[in-house]
Chains A and B, each alone.
Chain A
Amino acid sequence: MYRYDEFDAGFVRARVAEFRDQVGRRLAGSLTEDEFKPLRLMNGLYLQLHAYMLRVAIPYGTLSSRQMRMLAEIAERWDRGYGHFTTRQNIQFNWPKLRDVPDILDALASVEMHAIQTSGNCIRNTTSDPLAGVAPDEIEDPRVTCELIRQWSSLHPEFTFLGRKFKIAVSAAEEDRAAVATHDIGLYIVRNDAGEVGYRVLVGGGQGRTPMLAKELRAFLPKADLLPYLEAALRVYNLHGRRDNKFKARIKILVHELGIEEYRRQVEEEFARLDRAAIAAPEAEVARIAAYFAPAPLPARPAEDAGFERALKADPAFAAWVGQNTHPHRVPGYRAVTVSLKPVGGVPGDATAEQMRVLADLAEAHSGAELRVTHEQNIVLPSVGLGDLPKVFRGLAGVGLDAPNRGLVTDIIACPGLDYCALATARSIPVAQAISRRFGDPRRQAEIGPLAIKISGCINACGHHHVGHIGILGIDKAGVESYQITLGGHAGADASLGERTGPGFAFDEVPGVIETLVDRYLELRTSRRETFLQTYRRVGMEPFREALYEPAH
């Protein structure tokens, strides 16, 4: 993975010193609260419902064992012993004190981490495929591009006071595991007819109160043009994006109002005018970054492992976990492992300091000391040898991280909701917990098959409900929580937005509603191989609506 050089380290240290100074000037009154707010947001510090929340960047979701241990230490020393992994591959601490924040940032800097641009109206953490570098279906490691963008977007002098936040995602694989089409700019690394590798550029995706899937801006962009092209795309947005209404300020609205053709015309005109050579990263710099992501020299292993085969036969729980939570690896004899942070009845994405340390240790012993955070709020150990899987499974089971539910009905995404968030209009975590308990039986989950439930506690859609196979949106209706259900959303390469079933339901009704939908699906599916999403796409809304609102018996 990428390692800081003296310049990266100096950059982060300067930033921490600057924030310390800004806190001082705020306390002395030379900065007003209005002036301080965007500065603290650009350092990841939110004022939430009960306390400050610090969001720490995990660039494209990759972190080392050493970094994970520091997150555990921060959780223990300055928070309440846990952290919350987010849908943007970051981690949030929910209870830091303002006076401790500069010290926390110092601690992060000591392990090459920071909280720069994890909030505010600027370019946020670039997200990517959690299986980057190990997936058999990828063209190249997308994290080289991500790191180039991370550096280019850090304290960009022109784009640090945008109309609204700006999110970029990159995927290089056949299967889109990064929800590319729901980002302000989405990049697919592709090969053109001439065999050259470049980018297919999408623009204008986003969730929130006006969900939109991104549209194609450029079918093929040569790699060398990446930064100048992003600069042109951002400039058109910075100049012309709406600033009169916060809810219409994302680039998706600009693209929608101008039309993709006109937006493209303006970007191409700007791009033609820019001094590309002066903006692009030098080739040597791209090569320097790429060297950090060269495939790790994994010792060759036999494609089959006797100990692993024995464990599969002897332990059905292990076999179920391997079947559901591990993925093919580009190197034979290895698997990528998804560690579910969704134990039955748990808080999606939460991990205790002890769990973080166990994850760090397991990664160090069995996966090259590297971990990934997924946008589904789980953790990935990217390269585990088959023979090591039983040990990893036992280690995870010891701290309650062995749920065999990746991609199943209990692998729920939920925003923090009314339990933490100042914007929330309804609870999300307790809804997730109730559904998780209702479907707790692992055999039942396996029987139901792939099903993505996503829950947001307000219209801002941080829980990605628009792209849930079943989406749940909690709103406030005359002082009472009401939950609207959407069906048929999906975040992959064939992305779609969910459609509302009809009137909402009370908090207590939600688990029953999900059960009704699941039962209807089980009746409708043509075979066990037809997933919930496939069934919905085949039969449409009506049979599900009927089951919810007009039960015949």
Chain B
Amino acid sequence: MSLLIDRGGPIADPWVRVQRDEPLPDGPAIVDPDRLAGLDHAPLGVHLPNTADAAALASEFSRLALISIDFPAFNDGRGFSIARRLRELGYTGRLRAAGPVIADQFAYLLECGFDEVEIPDALAARQPAEHWLAAIARAGHAYQRGRTGARASILDARSADHG
């Protein structure tokens, strides 16, 4: 089991992650990428390993309501770049970070284009939703531009100051 959190707090997870050979359920289903071709199902989601090439998925964006990116460990940062690439390639559906990411990364995840995190229960027991909300509440400003998310851009704020 797992806990799903977005920037508003814990949310219910309508999605079912379908294992390799299982039949698809009626509702929202997340499948592996090799099962996408020719699959007629809605709403449809896909779970990507963090070695996936975001560009290879671009032709599927229109029928994907969710992309979940695997985080095998919180300190394996590849998923951040995959998320950025997906957004830059024009993906506008929901983006999920799935794995043992930690609350201190929440602001960065949101800024890279993620909407939600799915964390294992054992981690949620140590880091409940309040910790995640507190982490983005105290995140303050960021120096980078061209991203939306938890932190406002210092460079943009300075430009506004100077008119």
Tell which of B80, B84, B112, B144 has the most Cβ of chain A within 10 Å.
B144
What interface size band does chain A fall in?
35 or more
On whether A38 and B75 interact (CB within 8 A), knowing A152-B144, A157-B144, A158-B81, the answer reads: yes
State whether B82 touches A239 (Cβ < 8 A): yes
B136-163 interface mask toward A, CB cutoff 8 Å, 1 = contact, 0 = none?
0011111111110100001101110010
Contact A235 B81 (CB under 8 A): yes
Q: How far is the CA of A67 from the CA of B157 in the complex (A)?
A: 27
What sequence of 0s and 1s flags, for each residue 293-310 of chain A, a beta carbon within 8 Å of any chain B beta carbon? 000000000000000000
- CB of A279 within 8 A of CB of B78, answer no
> Looking across the interface, which residue of chain A has its beta carbon closest to that of B74?
A35
Cβ contact within 8 Å between A159 and B143? no
**In the complex with contacts A30-B126, A121-B75, A288-B158, A157-B143 CB distance below 8 A:** no
Q: Are A30 and B127 in contact (CB under 8 A)?
A: yes
- Determine whether B61 belongs to the interface, using a CB cutoff of 8 Å to chain A: no
Contact of B162 among A10, A151, A280, A284 (CB under 8 A): A284
B17 shortest CB reach to chain A, Å: 24
Chain A-chain B contacts (Cβ-Cβ < 8 Å), number: 112
B9 interfacial contact with A, CB 8 Å: no
Within 8 A of A (CB), among B105-159: 105, 107-109, 111-112, 126-127, 131, 138-147, 149, 154-155, 157-159
The smallest beta-carbon distance between B163 and chain A, in angstroms, is: 9
Give the chain B neighbours of A155 by CB distance below 8 A: 108, 142-143
What is the CA–CA distance of A282 and B102 in the complex, to the nearest angstrom? Answer: 33
Q: Is there a chain A Cβ closer than 8 Å to B13's Cβ?
A: no
CB-nearest residue of chain B to A228: B146
Take A239-B82, A281-B155 as given contacts and tell me if A157 and B108 are in contact as well, using a CB distance cutoff of 8 Å.
yes
| Residues of chain A within 8 A of B104, CB atoms compared | 18, 22, 39
Residue from B74, B82, B155 in contact with A282 in the complex, judged by beta carbons closer than 8 Å = B155
Tier of interface size on chain B:
35 or more
One of A25, A35, A278 near B146 (C-beta < 8 A) = A278
Would you call B77 an interface residue if the criterion is a C-beta within 8 Å of the partner chain's C-beta atoms?
yes
Selected contact of B112 from candidates A7, A10, A154, A158, CB within 8 Å: A158
Are A275 and B88 in contact, CB atoms less than 8 angstroms apart? yes
Which residues of chain A come closer than 8 Å to B107, judged between CB atoms? 157
Which of A7, A15, A18, A273 contacts B154, CB < 8 Å? A7
Contact digits for A116-151, partner B, Cβ 8 Å, 1 yes 0 no: 000001000000000000000000000000000001
Q: Is the pair B145, A279 in contact by a Cβ cutoff of 8 Å?
A: yes
Q: Which residues of A contact B102 (CB under 8 A)?
A: 31, 35
What are the residues of chain A within 8 A of B149 when measuring CB–CB? Answer: 157
A29 / chain B contacts, CB cutoff of 8 Å: 126
Nearest Cβ in chain B — how far from A426, in angstroms?
A: 30
Chain A residues whose C-beta falls within 8 Å of the C-beta of B81 in the assembled complex:
158, 235, 238-239
Known contacts A17-B138, A157-B147, A273-B88; A284 and B159 CB within 8 A of each other: yes
In the complex, what residues of A have CB within 8 A of residue B131's CB? 25, 30
Q: Are B74 and A11 in contact (CB under 8 A)?
A: no
Residue contact B80 to A151, C-beta cutoff 8 Å: no
Q: Do the beta carbons of A160 and B159 come within 8 Å of each other?
A: no
Q: Encode A3-16 as 1/0 by CB contact (under 8 A) with B.
A: 00101101100110
From A25, A121, A152, give the contact of B143 (CB < 8 A). Answer: A152
A-B contact pairs, 30 of them (CB 8 A): A8-B154, A10-B140, A11-B143, A14-B138, A15-B140, A25-B131, A35-B74, A151-B155, A152-B143, A154-B143, A155-B142, A156-B143, A156-B144, A157-B111, A157-B112, A158-B80, A158-B81, A159-B80, A161-B74, A239-B78, A239-B82, A273-B88, A273-B89, A274-B88, A281-B145, A282-B159, A285-B155, A285-B158, A288-B158, A288-B162
Which of A's residues lie within 8 Å of B, judged by CB?
5, 7-8, 10-11, 14-15, 17-18, 21-22, 25, 29-32, 35, 38-39, 121, 151-152, 154-163, 235, 238-239, 243, 273-275, 278-282, 284-285, 288
Closest 7 pairs between A and B when the two form their complex, measured CB to CB: A161-B77, A278-B146, A14-B140, A157-B108, A157-B111, A151-B143, A7-B154
B: residues with CB less than 8 A from A are: 74-78, 80-82, 84-85, 88-89, 102, 104-105, 107-109, 111-112, 126-127, 131, 138-147, 149, 154-155, 157-159, 162
